Each structure stands twice: as C-alpha cells, then as structure tokens.
Structure 1
Amino acid sequence: MHPPLYTDALLRIWGTADPPGLRLAGQVDLTNQAALAGHLLAVDRAPADVTVDLDEVTFLNFASLHVLVAFAELLEPGRRLIVHTRTGAVAQMLRACGWDRPEVPLTLLEEIPDD
C-alpha cells in the first residue's frame, strides 16, 4: 500500500488510481477539512469521475460534507463525484447539504455492513 498523501492525529488520506479519487480513514473535522478540499482539487485533474471512499471514516462534520457537495458542483459537465459510505448518517447529512438536487453531479453509494 502506498503511504498516505495526508496524515494528522485524526485523518489519513490516500490517492486512488482505479477509480481516480481519494480514500479516507479516521475523522474529518474543522482541523483537516481544508486538507480534504485541497486533495479533492488535486484529484480533479483526472478527466474521469472522482470517487471518494468514506468506508473507513468514523466521523465527518457537516462542513466537510459541504466541501464534497461544493466540489461536485465544480466538476465539468458529464463528470460526477461518487461517494462510497457504510454509514447511513453520512447519507442523511449529505441530503441535508443538498447533494440530491438534480443539478449536483454527486452519486452516493451506500453499502450496508454485514454486522
């Protein structure tokens, strides 16, 4: 496994090539949401959809979800932000941020844990 692109006391961010995007582990809050935004913008150079894997995220503050929605709105027409999560709360919070508006190119893929 490659070393993380970003590490702090709460969060680790790795780049992914197939699919292009990011994998996060830990907690995203006010102390590291700027790092999330910066790495999203760096990944945006890929011509394809951008995937963010939140399966290993245990906490995501509301402002960080707004970062994801705002990033999706910046994508060129025809591209989407695809978010993977195992947490129903993330889906509910994303809906509150307005990700499910038709003009926002964000797809949420929820996986139900086996436990």
Structure 2
Amino acid sequence: MEVIAHPDERMLRITPTADPPGLRLKGELDATRHREVIEALSPMAAEGGDVRLDLGGLRFIDLGALRLLTCLVERCGNGVRLVLDNLSPQMENLIQTVSWERLPGLVQGRKETS
C-alpha cells in the first residue's frame, strides 16, 4: 500500500526562532527548496556564532540539502556553527554514513523529549 502525503505536509515551512536564534524546518526539504533555506540562513550565518536548526519537523531531506549546509559553514568561515537539533535517527545515520559529523561547524544539537 502506498501512502501519499497531503500536499501541505510536503511543503517546507521555515520559521525563525528567537531563543535560541535559528530556524525551525518542517515538511520536506528537497532541491526545489534549497534556495529558500540558503536565503533564510545566510544572514544569520554571516553574523558568526551558533545558528540552530530545529530539524525535528522534517519528513524528508535530500543529500543535496545536507551538502548545502556544509558548504554554507565552509563559505562563512567566521566561527559559524550550524547546530542541528532534533535529528531523526535516519538523518543521524545519513550524516554518520557520509562522515559529515566530523566537519568543523556542523554540530549535532539537542533532542527534545516529548
């Protein structure tokens, strides 16, 4: 049986967070949404320091989006760290498989307990 997600569930929603400063991503992050994510993240990353990404609401993320995040960190280079909160077990496995957890500036953050 195939389950097809409702169109609203596939859309990516990007919500700024204040405490801590960052973004909450919900929905699906694929190649059609890379530009939106980079436009939302770039100003925060340009300031340096930690930028938190709450990824707990993502149902899907493509490999290109993970690469996009690592490239942003490398490009900024001003002490910016992307702290990835609420990673799903699948995303943790993907990051470990491609060894991106070793890159400076890409950090596994906290997990909310519900």
Q: TM-score range by the shorter chain?
A: 0.7 to 0.9
Quick check: which one's helix share is greater? Answer: 2
Contact 2:86 2:111 in 1 (8 A): yes
Quick check: which one's strand share is greater? Answer: 1
Deviation per residue, 1:33-87 (Å, 9 max, x gap): 1111111102224343111100111110110111111122234354311001241
What residue number does 1:12 align with? 13
Q: 1:20 to 1:33 in 2, by over 3 A?
A: same
Q: CA RMSD in A?
A: 2.5
Q: 1:82 to 1:54 in 2, by over 3 A?
A: same
Q: Rg bigger for which structure? A: 2
Instruction: For residue 95 of structure 1, report the CA deviation from its aligned partner.
Output: 2.8
Contact 1:65 1:97 in 2 (8 A): no
TM-score (norm 1): 0.76
Contact 1:65 1:93 in 2 (8 A): no
Deviation per residue, 1:69-111 (Å, 9 max, x gap): 112223435431100124111112223444222x521111363
List alignment gaps of at least 5 residues for structure 1.
1-6
Equivalent residue pairs, number? 107
TM-score (norm 2): 0.77
Identity of aligned residues (%): 29
List alignment gaps of at least 5 residues for structure 2.
1-7
